[in-house]
């Protein structure tokens, strides 16, 4: 069983690297937990968001007050979506952990963040 799991993991990583989609390959097998998520970005700003079972991430906020917006999710991730002049993208790295980035729409500078599930 362990050998088979290891073989599947290696194959997924090789295919993901070859296709440039490591995050989406890994995320496709994760069953995300609905609820509120909280964490920090690489600049120590608070990040919060909510995800529901209707496949929608909403209320993505920076420092409790700056709202970027929401996005439709699929395969435990959302592609870059822009609202209010800012863009965000994210993917579940585990059932209760999401990592991604946000950026100002006209900037290429990405601020990376990670959040963890805190409650329903």
Please state the three-class secondary structure of 22-39 as a single string.
Answer: HHHHHHCCCCCCCEEEEE
Q: Is residue 23 part of a domain?
A: no
Residue 75 lies in a domain: yes
pLDDT of residue 105: 83
| Any domain includes 21 | no
**Does residue 88 lie within any of the structural domains?**
yes
Beta bridge partners of 62: 47, 66
Domain count of the fold of the chain: 1
Could you read off the pLDDT tens digit of each residue along the chain, which spans 120 residues?
444 443 434 444 333 333 333 344 445 578 899 999 999 999 999 999 999 988 999 999 999 999 999 999 999 999 999 998 999 999 999 999 999 999 998 888 999 999 999 998
- Is residue 39 included in any domain, yes or no? yes
Q: In angstroms, rounded to a whole number, what is the distance separating the alpha carbons of residues 15 and 7?
A: 12
Q: For residue 85, give its domain range.
A: 32-119
Task: Identify which of 86, 81, 52 has the alpha carbon closest to the alpha carbon of residue 67.
Answer: 86
Q: Write the DSSP symbol of residue 120.
A: -
């Amino acid at each position: 069983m362990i050998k088979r799991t290891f073989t599947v993991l290696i194959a997924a990583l090789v295919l993901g690297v070859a296709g440039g989609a490591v995050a989406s390959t890994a995320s496709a097998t994760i069953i995300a937990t609905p609820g509120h998520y909280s964490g920090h970005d690489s600049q120590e700003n608070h990040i919060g968001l909510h995800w529901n079972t209707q496949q929608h991430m909403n209320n993505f906020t920076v420092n409790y007050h700056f709202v970027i917006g929401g996005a439709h999710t699929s395969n435990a991730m959302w592609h870059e979506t822009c609202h209010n002049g800012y863009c965000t993208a994210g993917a579940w790295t585990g059932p209760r952990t999401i990592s991604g980035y946000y950026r100002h729409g006209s900037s290429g500078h990405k601020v990376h963040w990670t959040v963890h599930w805190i409650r329903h």
